[in-house]
Amino acid sequence: MSRTLIHSQSHSQVATERPVFVSTWNFGKPANEASLRKYQGGGSILDAVEEGIRLTEADKSNASVGDGGKPNAEGKVQLDACIMHGPGTKAGSVGGIEDIAHPISVARAVMEKTPHVMLVGQGAKKFALEQGFASENLLTAKQRKEWRAWRREKRKMEAGENNHDTIALVGIAADGTLAGGCSTSGLAYKMPGRVGDSPIIGSGLYVDNEIGAAGATGVGENVMRFCGSFMVVEYMRQGLSPEEACAETIRRIARLDGRPIEDLHINFIALNKKGQFGAAGTGNGFPYAVTYPGFSDILQS
C-alpha cells in the first residue's frame, strides 16, 4: 500500500487563540465564521457548532447538506445528522429524516430532550414536528431536474463524483470544552433508507472531552465499518498529532479494506485539546476550514 497517496500536511498546526473551529470543505469557512460569531455573541461551544452547521444546511446551493440536498433514488431528500457535547459525552442523532431543514437541531433536541441517542425515519420526523420544527419540501427544482435526468439514464453514481460533501464541524471553547456536529444529505441517489456514517456516533463524528474531536466526510461505507472518527480520536489519545491521527486512520482502513487507497474516497478532520488541528484525505488535496479569533482560512490537507 502506498503511503504517498494519503494527502495530509506535514505538521499539525496549532491555533493561538480560542475558540477554534475546524470543518470540512470550502463551505466550512463561512460555517466556522458563523460559529465564531455565535460564540463571541455569548453562545456556548455547542450553540456555536449548531449555528455553523445550520448555515450550511440552509444554503440551497449546497447539494449535499440540508435544504437543496440531492435526493435518494426515489427523489426524496433524506437527511442524516449528529451532534456531540464533550462534557458528559452527550450525543444526539437523526438518520434518514425527511422534510425537516435543520437535522442538526433535531439531533440536538434528541440529545437534550429524550433519553435516547438516535431517532430515524418517520419517528425522527414525528419527534421534530412535535418539537415545533416545520415540515417543508427540501427538493429544489434544480435537484428534481437532475434526479429525473439521472433516473432516465439509470446511471450509477460513482463515488468521488461531486456527490458527497458533508459538513463535519468541531470546536473547542476557551475553557477547553469540546463539541462537534455533522450533517449531510448522504450519497446522491442512495437507496431509500440508506444511512451513512454521518449520524453514527464514532463514525462520522466523535468528541472526547479529554482528548479531542474528529469528523469525517466521503463515502460513509468506508468510514462506518471502521468507526473512523473514534479511531482518529484514539490515535490522538496515543499521542499522534491530529493530522497524523487522520492519516494513520486512513492507512489502517486501507490496509483492512484491501482496495487501493484512492478508491476509498474518505477524509478526516481533527482537533485536539491543545487547539492543534489537522486533516487527511485519500484524494488530491482535501480542503478544510480553520477559524479562530484573528484567523479564518481554507487549508489543504
User: Interface with ligand SD4 includes 165 (CB under 6 A)?
Assistant: yes
Q: Which of 196, 212 has the CB closer to ligand SD4?
A: 196
Phi and psi, residue 264, nearest 5°: -85, -35
**Residues 252/283, Cβ–Cβ less than 8 Å:** no
Lookup result for grid cell 484567523: 295
3-state class of 298 per DSSP?
strand
Q: Determine the Cα–Cα distance for residues 232 and 206; give it in Å rounded to an integer.
A: 9
User: Interface with ligand SD4 includes 219 (CB under 6 A)?
Assistant: yes
- Nine cell digits for residue 52: 455553523
Residue 168 Cβ, how far from ligand SD4 at the closest point, in Å? 8
Round the CA-based radius of gyration of the chain to a whole number and report it: 18
Phi and psi, residue 66, nearest 5°: 60, -145
User: Interface with ligand SD4 includes 287 (CB under 6 A)?
Assistant: no
User: Interface with ligand SD4 includes 57 (CB under 6 A)?
Assistant: no
Which part of the chain contacts ligand SD4 (CB under 6 A), choosing from 83-91, 179-187, 240-248, 277-285?
Answer: 179-187
Residue 173 Cβ, how far from ligand SD4 at the closest point, in Å? 26
Asked if omega into 19 is within 30° of 0 (cis), the reply is yes
User: Interface with ligand SD4 includes 217 (CB under 6 A)?
Assistant: yes
User: Interface with ligand SD4 includes 265 (CB under 6 A)?
Assistant: no
Residue 48 Cβ, how far from ligand SD4 at the closest point, in Å? 21
Q: Which of 39, 150 has the CB closer to ligand SD4?
A: 150
User: Interface with ligand SD4 includes 281 (CB under 6 A)?
Assistant: no
156-181 in b/e burial notation, b at 16+ Cβ within 10 A?
Answer: ebebeeebbbbbbbbbbbeeebbbbb
User: Interface with ligand SD4 includes 197 (CB under 6 A)?
Assistant: yes
Residue 40 Cβ, how far from ligand SD4 at the closest point, in Å? 28
Q: Which of 8, 217 has the CB closer to ligand SD4?
A: 217
Among 23, 177, 184, 209, binds ligand SD4 (CB under 6 A): 184
**Residues recognised as catalytic:** 166
Q: Strands 7-8 and 276-281: what pairing?
A: antiparallel
Burial of 273 (C-beta count, 10 Å sphere; 0-12/13-18/19+) = middle
Residue 223 Cβ, how far from ligand SD4 at the closest point, in Å? 6
User: Interface with ligand SD4 includes 275 (CB under 6 A)?
Assistant: no
User: Interface with ligand SD4 includes 52 (CB under 6 A)?
Assistant: no
Longest dimension (CA), the chain: 54
User: Interface with ligand SD4 includes 244 (CB under 6 A)?
Assistant: no
| Beta-ladder partners of 276 | 14
Which residues make up the interface to ligand SD4 (CB under 6 A)?
A: 64, 164-166, 184, 186-187, 196-198, 217-220
